[in-house]
Amino acid sequence: MNQEIEEVKVLIIGSGPAGYTAAIYAARAGLKPVLYTGGQPGGQLTITNDVENYPGYPDGVMGPQMMDDFRRQAERFETDVRYGMVTSVDFSQRPHKIVVDDQKVILADTVIISTGASAKWLGLESETRLNGKGVSACAVCDGFFFRGQDVAIVGAGDTACEEASYLSNICNKVYMLVRRDEMRASQIMQKRVMLNPKVEILWNTETVEILGEDEVKGVKIKNNQTGAISDLAVTGFFVAIGHEPNTSIFKDFLDMDESGYIKTIPGSTRTNVEGVFACGDAQDHIYRQAVTAAGTGCMAALDAERYLAELELV
């Protein structure tokens, strides 16, 4: 088969706030960016409801609507937005080689990685079946639906503590399921949940099964010290056991931390490979906000533009 190879100046991988912001800046700089959306066009915000903390939306906005706005703004300046999944890369040569959907080959002078991160799950069949029907990995997104109800949250890191505190303002009761006899979270976050009268921490507790056919009716738990099994009556089940950056296809070429977050040179979006830039949650395990992702997306486009100018490729 005679395969046509396409050459682009700026290739953006991923379509969350970081990717689209990079696209807006690169397109307005005349760089004709091509953006591949990945498997979840719009990213994590498309599975959330109200976004109330993104500046510029004083009345809040629905996550999918906001990402549609981002896409339209990027397309207005002629970003070439394409549906497709980057399946492999070769950053050992320049221009960099990118393969889309195991078929199409692109040679890019610069690559902006904005592939984001995905929530980790426990891996239970009932968790998958009831996802969106009472099971959620985002308390801030879905807590609202459990106003005045009893819920459980699994995890013992800063995210779980933060989300348990958040849920306690909305729900009647929050059970926190902690698998060990101590938490990983920072002291201040632990103290906050321990002192919260609406949060009950169940130590040494694992989730056996989430109960319910079409909606969450409860959760079967096991005390891993005593082996005792019991049921908790809850209508919401939140999973807060961490996130995984979507960076595995880059692991042979880019420096990453032990969790797979791409390392960037401080104060920039530059990676260890020249011409490859990383922004958004793929390189940020701390802030993980739409607005910080968008900010680093802007930085990535400006870094890419400077790099191209230095090499006199623009």
Active-site residues, by number, are 138, 141-142
Whose Cβ is closer to ligand NDP: residue 83's or residue 287's?
287
Rounded distance between C-alpha atoms, residue 262 and residue 283, angstroms: 5
Residue with tokens 């929050």: 174
* Dist CA 314 CA 307 (whole Å): 10
Which among 80-88, 143-151, 154-162, 266-274 is the span making contact with ligand NDP, rule CB under 6 A? 154-162
Determine which residue in the list 80, 162, 244, 274 makes contact with ligand NDP, applying CB under 6 A: 162
Find the shortest distance in angstroms from Cβ 35 to ligand NDP: 27
Yes or no: say if 9 and 308 are a contact pair by the CB < 8 Å rule: yes
Sheet holding 205-211, edge to edge: 205-211, 218-223, 229-232
Residue 278 Cβ, how far from ligand NDP at the closest point, in Å?
Answer: 17
Stretch touching ligand NDP by CB under 6 A, among 90-98, 178-186, 195-203, 215-223: 178-186
Closest separation in Å from C-beta 13 to ligand NDP: 23
Total residues contacting ligand NDP by CB under 6 A comes to 17
Give the distance, in angstroms, between the CA of residue 21 and the centroid of all CA atoms in the same chain: 16
Considering only 97, 179, 217, 222, the residue that binds ligand NDP (CB under 6 A) is 179
> Minimum Å distance from CB 217 to ligand NDP?
21
- x/- map, 266-305, ligand NDP, by CB under 6 A: -------------------xx-------------------
Whole-number Cα distances in Å, 312 to 120, 205, 275, 292, 308: 43, 59, 13, 30, 6
- Is 155 among the residues that bind ligand NDP (CB under 6 A)? yes
The contact pattern for ligand NDP, residues 122-141, with x = CB under 6 A and - = no contact, is x-------------------
| Sheet with 135-136, side-by-side order of all strands | 135-136, 236-239, 150-154, 173-177, 199-202
158 binds ligand NDP (CB under 6 A): yes
Q: Which residues from 228-257 bind ligand NDP, rule CB under 6 A? A: 241-243
Interface residues with ligand NDP (CB under 6 A)?
Answer: 122, 154-160, 162, 179-180, 184, 241-243, 285-286
